Structure 1
């Protein structure tokens, strides 16, 4: 057993779980989703039946039946005297592998590889003799790649030298490294909500205390809340996605960028800008002026080729002023010893074709977005579909807080999604669903057909009192 979750914490994580009858199956499904989303880690001890029953205001027999259902599907194990413990993913749903063949997986929100990637790899492999004569990795990154990344920033209007770039094994590695260097246990970090869940995991692993600032598809960032949070909590760091934010797809206006920069400077906070989706423009046009020009020493940028080229190309980077780069380099060996030479050589070659890559990605994402929006407006017109000018996903607003129940139901129909609460910092967002548009248009249309069927089933199965309570809040 690695950890324990209290009845109160589990009740908060479950949110509006009672979306259908019988209650014990709704409870079991909600706990399954927490496990599938890794919001409830493997080998976590669950609360005793009596404690959870009290926290949820249920009978103990209902909780016992829910736990029994979880044991039957292999999600938990129960031992007399030791309670119930969640099981690792590989032991869950042993009979679902065959049923999952041909499923539409919309959990990762990653486009397929850029078509020219294989040719670039073949060209680099042709120069293998020169590559294998090198050490094979280094903690800073090859000069050729760092110069290519620096030139990419210069084209965007951000003066950068190769000495201000550190190459990493993907953006996630960069987030972990930045967090480990800048944060101590208990330090506060301002973060958007909803947000990229793996960033939340990395920051919490570093011991951070997260301070959420809302961002919505229509109103953008809550600047009043953000300015108050900066002034009140004096966060050591702020983690932001200013361009095509994941999952909302929203981009900061110039005023929002300038407000965050000013508030961060006043609080002495380092602004960590995750720009992994910044180049996925469909029809936004020119970039806002904020966060451009010479970055102050308190701005750190993170980028990667995972979304723009291919998720399997694990090359990312950190752009920061020289002293910070040296601190990251000194701390890196505790995480990894560098990015492999072959991947770096491929990445350096790709920057020469970046204009072509960006144009192809824009066309691919436009086709997916338009197909998804059209299918949603036709099949599920009661959902609120935002206008999104780039990025990888739509942040849909449902007409009832049943996102978790919907994700569980549509999974049985061969569509894999992540529920809204997966992207929350402080809980909630069960009225929202992230729908990536990175899959082929025909798959997206089929996925919407399955969602329409599931939504009818989930809405019909939800207790009338629950739906009435939700609709009275809207």
Structure 2
């Protein structure tokens, strides 16, 4: 397989040597230092933390910052060029790029959903960073019924800024069935839950204000807050006392939580914690956003817990949901359940991004919600089997690791016993495996002894992934 790179790449940003050293963290593995450094840089490009078209520091400056020889950095840059991840020209330095020609046009390997947007160059690589399962069997039929319903909407302009009434009513019924009486005007339909989080962040947080999140947490949740200009402070998942202390100390305007099958730890807030969070929102006048994209994925039959919104409609309690994890990521349909005044405010703000969510996808999701009681048991059973396979395989191969078996969700939060998450992620890239190191899920770069492994791929792919993980671990530990 031939990998080609652009003849010339113009850098749009520059990364200093000290910043590169901070980005790479503990990058060393066993074997040649130049190979470990090249793998670490390549992993950063694939993770999106080192964007393409970034001019890297000079070989001399990076060698000084990393306390290695210039021969090491020179050989590492040469290795990056060989693999198609960098290009160098006189006067332009070394610039990161993404390889071209690394995948056949007909490849069906999924691109990253809950993962970085870049790809491994090898079409046979395994992606354990993505946390979005394949589509449910009922999806095709839902689209067929949606097409039958579509003619009724063709006489309109096609823009439903707050969402189609039929979908908003379906989502409202869903919340009402969970014990939270909801009407359609309390629901905003968005283009995926990620857009919902982005609109909430830009609407509710001003530049320089503080937002409090769990640490670790969903890394795109951290990103949307940081891009909105917020100072992001982390507290341990489930620790409501620390949460309240952080809100009081910082004057935070927004709290972001994943209450059900937390990403990445898999834990859930109990009834007492949910009541305490709702009370906190009212007493401290802070908006609490509960990300419920994983709520449906209760794999052990523990049973659904009530939304953070509780039985009322407090304006400071907001829920975000999505069809991505329950049915298919390609649907790109999400929603916000909030006070109707906030719904209209968010609806006006989201028009800067995309005006409205596509009509056909909304109709398809409305169809799926009508029969979700028939769909979700099969979804849970398939994910339960994959979770158990990955847990058992990893525990057997790595007896010194901490491998919890989460009661729901899509991933394992694995403890390595030593702070080598970033070197392991870099070594995994060399084995054709993509995984997510722990620091990516924290606002301060901690959790260096953890990695997140998703179990959304097929059993055969998961078994192959563990083989690659074992080889990567040997690279790190010798």
State whether TM-score is above 0.5.
yes
Aligned counterpart, 2:182: 160
Deviation at 1:307, TM superposition (A): 0.3
Moved more, 263-272 or 200-209: 263-272
Deviation at 1:409, TM superposition (A): 3.2
User: What is the distance in 2 between the residues matched to 1:16 and 1:355?
Assistant: 47
1:352-391 to structure 2, matched below 5 A, reads 352-391=370-409
CA spacing shift, 1:144–1:263, aligned 2, 3 Å: same
Aligned counterpart, 2:47: 37
TM-score, normalisation: structure 2:
0.88
CA contact (8 A) 1:131 1:342 kept: no
Aligned counterpart, 2:134: 112
Q: Give the secondary structure class of the aligned counterpart of 2:217.
A: coil
Q: Residue 67 of structure 1: which of 68, 73, 77 is its match?
A: 77
Q: Residue 294 of structure 1: which of 295, 305, 312 is its match?
A: 312
Q: Give the secondary structure class of the aligned counterpart of 2:129.
A: coil
Runs of 5+ unmatched residues, structure 2: 1-10, 108-120
Q: Residue 22 of structure 1: which of 32, 36, 54 is its match?
A: 32
Q: Residue 324 of structure 2: which of 281, 306, 316 is its match?
A: 306
CA contact (8 A) 1:302 1:316 kept: yes
Q: Residue 255 of structure 1: which of 272, 282, 292 is its match?
A: 272
CA contact (8 A) 2:294 2:409 kept: yes
Moved more, 412-421 or 313-322: 412-421
Aligned counterpart, 2:218: 196
CA contact (8 A) 1:254 1:290 kept: no
User: What is the distance in 2 between the residues matched to 1:411 and 1:168?
Assistant: 34
Aligned residues between the structures: 452
Q: Please give the per-residue CA displacement for 1:227-249, whole angstroms capped at 9, x wherever unaligned.
A: 32111111111111111111111
Deviation at 1:131, TM superposition (A): 3.4
Q: Please give the per-residue CA displacement for 1:328-367, whole angstroms capped at 9, x wherever unaligned.
A: 1121221111011111111111111121222112111111
Aligned counterpart, 2:56: 46
Q: Please give the per-residue CA displacement for 1:352-400, whole angstroms capped at 9, x wherever unaligned.
A: 1121222112111111111111212222222211131011111111133
Aligned counterpart, 1:269: 286
1:442 and 2:464 correspond: no
Moved more, 367-376 or 299-308: 367-376
Q: Give the secondary structure class of the aligned counterpart of 2:201.
A: helix
Alignment root-mean-square deviation, CA: 2.3
User: What is the distance in 2 between the residues matched to 1:338 and 1:105?
Assistant: 31
User: What is the distance in 2 between the residues matched to 1:102 and 1:77?
Assistant: 24
User: What is the distance in 1 between the residues matched to 2:449 and 2:387?
Assistant: 21
Deviation at 1:82, TM superposition (A): 4.3
User: What is the distance in 2 between the residues matched to 1:442 and 1:29?
Assistant: 26
Q: Please give the per-residue CA displacement for 1:4-34, whole angstroms capped at 9, x wherever unaligned.
A: 3343333222121122342232222212111
CA spacing shift, 1:454–1:46, aligned 2, 3 Å: closer
Q: Residue 101 of structure 1: which of 123, 135, 139 is its match?
A: 123
User: What is the distance in 2 between the residues matched to 1:48 and 1:214?
Assistant: 39
Deviation at 1:426, TM superposition (A): 1.3
Deviation at 1:309, TM superposition (A): 0.4
Deviation at 1:44, TM superposition (A): 2.6
Deviation at 1:290, TM superposition (A): 7.0
Moved more, 268-277 or 58-67: 58-67
1:346 and 2:390 correspond: no
Q: Residue 210 of structure 1: which of 228, 232, 241 is its match?
A: 232
Moved more, 26-35 or 64-73: 64-73
CA contact (8 A) 1:240 1:273 kept: yes
CA contact (8 A) 1:151 1:160 kept: yes
Q: Please give the per-residue CA displacement for 1:186-233, whole angstroms capped at 9, x wherever unaligned.
A: 221111222222222222221122112233xxxxx3444323211111
Q: Residue 187 of structure 1: which of 187, 200, 209 is its match?
A: 209
Deviation at 1:295, TM superposition (A): 3.7
CA contact (8 A) 1:13 1:427 kept: no
User: What is the distance in 2 between the residues matched to 1:437 and 1:267?
Assistant: 38
User: What is the distance in 2 between the residues matched to 1:426 and 1:185?
Assistant: 19
Q: Residue 245 of structure 2: which of 220, 228, 232 is its match?
A: 228
TM-score, normalisation: structure 1:
0.88
Q: Give the secondary structure class of the aligned counterpart of 1:250.
A: coil
Moved more, 203-212 or 125-134: 125-134
CA spacing shift, 1:65–1:263, aligned 2, 3 Å: farther
Deviation at 1:163, TM superposition (A): 0.6
CA contact (8 A) 1:15 1:427 kept: no
User: What is the distance in 2 between the residues matched to 1:314 and 1:288?
Assistant: 25
CA spacing shift, 1:367–1:120, aligned 2, 3 Å: same
Q: Give the secondary structure class of the aligned counterpart of 2:395.
A: helix
